[in-house]
Amino acid sequence: MIPLIRPFLDEAELQEIAQVLSSGFLTQGPKTAEFEQRVAEHIGCKYAFAMSSCTTALHLALVALDIKHGDEVLVADFTFPATANVVVQQGARPVLVDIDLDTFTMSPDDLERKISSHTKAIIPVDAFGCAANYDPILAIAEKHRLPVIEDAATAIGAKYYDRFCGNLSTIGCFSFHPRKVITTGEGGMITTNDSVLAEKIRLLRSHGGVKTGAWFQYEAAGFNYRLSDILSAVGVAQMAKLPMLIERKRLLASLMSQRLSKLAGVCLPTEPKWGGHIYQSYVILIDPQFDRDKVVTEMRARGVEATIGTYALHDQPVYQRQFGYQAGQLPNSHAAFRRSITLPLYPQMSESDLDLVVDTFKAVLSQQ
């Protein structure tokens, strides 16, 4: 079986973990601070806070921005449910925004149409390692005086023109799940240049406590969203590999696209005008005459793992029941949800692996 993804791990991660284990300091500590510093320096932001996941990062971003019951938050619809679930968990209403099919990212036109007097924040999503189109999104946000939370879960090392994702807006949120370009197993990161937000995040991440001498004074009802030094040790080793991993994934994506370029009924991922795509996932669209679910099932049966791109949130039962959305209401996101396929792409792949993926995909399509 060719898997969808295989994390790139070697002796460097073991050495970093061994240092932590021998130190006896296993929870959030000096190795986490080193991981945070490496991420902040890489993307060029002032503050970075390691978190237990990107989901907790997104949630804490909303808390830090005082999003509360009755508020509306505009969320890109084509995304993993966590992006909007955290809005619901704050008692706010997720207002789902359609996407542009060429990048799978938030449509600035649909965004502006959906701003209301209740709108308090915007959450674009950098889809599959491709930055959203931030110039118009940030212009709309500035016009309406709205903060922007960048869901950069898939986009560590990706760029929008000459700036790194996670350093494009009010707050950035990364994931280090094993499907991402670098991983800590589970884990996330909040990044910002706002000193006031940074202090709130620092306070709320660890129970709301401020150390005064030998113990803590609790200033807020905070959370335990910390990342351990064991997982941060993996992150430190992974950050050293990030440029190499991105270069390799971009090369493999180019080779995959060359092999699929003449295949009828398939729309390949493209580099947007702002560049910087890191191909965290290689996601294609197939024409409606093909049964996407059968294609995925048959590819797996033949030893090549494939899956959907991600989810159209407005098509999910919980968002239909709770907020009245109907399937197909956001047509581009709906089409992407029904027609997208993620093919295997990971740094250890050989060209013969690529050939097997492509040959299997072509064979399955030819039988439709």
Q: CB atoms < 10 A from the CB of 326, how many?
A: 10
pLDDT at 116: 98
Query: What phi and psi values does residue 311 have, to the nearest 5 degrees?
Result: -110, 145
Q: Quick check: helix, strand or coil at residue 314?
A: helix
Can 180 be counted among the known catalytic residues? yes
Q: Are 255 and 354 in contact (CB under 8 A)?
A: yes
Residue 318 and residue 59: Cα distance in Å, rounded? 19
Q: Are 175 and 53 in contact (CB under 8 A)?
A: yes
Q: Are 185 and 178 in contact (CB under 8 A)?
A: yes
pLDDT at 203: 97
* Domain with residues 242-366, CATH architecture: Alpha-Beta Complex (3.90)
The structural domains of the chain, with segments of one domain joined by +, span: 11-97+104-236, 242-366
**Which amino acid is it at 64?**
A
Residue 360 and residue 366: Cα distance in Å, rounded? 10
- Is the CATH code 3.40.640.10 the one for domain 11-97+104-236? yes
pLDDT at 212: 87
Give per-10-residue mean pLDDT for the chain (368 aa). Answer: 97 97 94 98 98 98 98 98 98 98 98 98 98 98 98 98 98 98 98 98 95 89 97 98 98 98 96 97 97 98 98 98 97 98 98 98 95
**Start-end of H helices in the chain:** 11-23, 30-43, 54-64, 82-89, 108-113, 134-143, 195-205, 229-260, 292-301, 317-323, 331-339, 351-366
Q: Quick check: helix, strand or coil at residue 78?
A: strand
Residue 177 and residue 299: Cα distance in Å, rounded? 24
Residue 315 and residue 323: Cα distance in Å, rounded? 11
Considering only the C-alpha atoms of the chain, give the largest distance between any 2 of them, rounded to a whole number of Å: 71
pTM score of the predicted model: 0.97
Choose the catalytic residue: 120, 180, 241, 249: 180
